[in-house]
Amino acid sequence: MTTGVPSNIAVHCAGVTKTYTTETTTVPALRGIDIDVKFGELLMLVGPSGCGKTTLISVIAGILDHDSGECLVFNRDLKHMPDKDRTKFRGENIGFVFQAYNLIHTLTAQENVAIPLLIRGVVFDEALKKAAEVLQRVGLGERLTSLPSELSGGQQQRVAIARALVHEPKLIVCDEPTAALDHDTGQKIMGLFREVAIGENRALIIVTHDSRIFPFADRIAKLDDGKIIAVATAKEFLNGNQHL
């Protein structure tokens, strides 16, 4: 446990660096990231491809180690946590929404949503019951037994959102959640996010290229070449859209 971070801060990054090294090349992906994410906030990370957005959410979510700097999630330093504890921490505190949904194609929507609970050891039937409730909240109460292949892209993303919410994590990280969706569906999904995923004790970080969903953000951080070059409210960004 590290102290000194205000209690309203869910994620605190200071001087975070990450370099990918292969036998022949060295690619700095993060070059000293400083950013805080507050509870109850929806932060969007934007920027061109290869600027380090995905690397940053991977570090924040504890699935990738940064090289230097400090990254605290709920005041916990995941980098220095034993692997087992870090995995458990992720399971309890972080929800994921992936661009490709990553719904297991042989499981029903309800079973897919139940997975985070099953990982935490909740009994199967209980997990299914809770999953059904959350699917109801995202408007898929009628599609509990549908396989992912029987759902539209928007519906699959709703299932993914339900899966990210079912165990009531305090942080949800989303990678391009609307990239594969048409405009209307994207707007609906973001509306859903704002409706069900934001709360006093929860923070939401979304990596996106999709400028159409910027209005849904509380703040937007723009990255370029591994650095945050601008942080502003959505309104500020939209007013000065030429900077994006």
Partner 1 sequence: MIRIALKMLVGDRPKYIGMILGVMFSSFVITQQSSIFTGIMTRTFGFINDSPLPDVWVMDPKVQYIDDIKPLQDTQLLRVRGVDGVEWATPLYKGLLKARLSNGVFQNCNVIGLDDASLVGGPGNMIKGKLEDLRRADGVIVDIVGAQGRLAKILPDGSRQTLDIGDTLELNDRRAIVVGIASISRTFQSQPVIYTTYSRAMNFAPRERKLLSFVLVKAKPGVAISDLARNIQSQTGLKAVTAEEFKHMTVMYFLKYTGIPINFGIGVLLGFLVGTAIVGQIFHNFTLDNLRYFGALKAMGASNGTLLRMIIVQAIVVGLIGYGIGVGAASMFYHVSKKSELAFRMPAELLIVSATAVTVICVIAAIFSIRKVFKLEPAIVFKS
Catalog residues that contact partner 1 under the rule CB under 8 A.
54, 57-58, 61, 63-64, 84, 87-92, 94, 96, 98-100, 102, 104-107, 111, 115-116, 118-120, 124, 175-176, 179
Asked whether the beta carbons of 65 and 16 are under 8 A apart, the reply is no
Residue where the block lists tokens 């199967």: 124
Query: Which residue blocks in the chain are alpha helix, DSSP H?
Result: 53-60, 83-93, 109-119, 124-137, 153-165, 183-192, 234-239
Compute the least distance from the CB of residue 102 to partner 1, in Å: 4
Q: With contact defined as beta carbons under 8 Å apart, do 90 and 61 qualify?
A: yes
If one counts every other C-beta atom within 10 angstroms of the C-beta of residue 218, the result is 18
Closest CB 94 distance from partner 1, rounded Å: 8
- Nearer to partner 1 by Cβ, of 158 and 237: the residue is 158
Q: Which is nearer to partner 1, 100 or 236 (CB)?
A: 100
Would you state the structure tokens that stand for residue 90, as one six-digit string? 């992720």
Decide: 140 and 192 in contact? Cβ < 8 Å: no
- What is d(CA 219, CA 231) in angstroms, rounded to the nearest whole number? 7
| Closest separation in Å from C-beta 184 to partner 1 | 22
Is-contact 231 218, C-beta < 8 A?
Answer: no
Minimum CB–partner distance for residue 204 and partner 1 (Å) = 16
CB of 133 to partner 1, least distance (A): 19
Q: Which is nearer to partner 1, 178 or 237 (CB)?
A: 178
Residue number, 58 or 157, with CB nearest to partner 1: 58
Neighbours of 52 (CB within 10 A): 25
| Residue 44 or 237 with smaller CB distance to partner 1 | 44
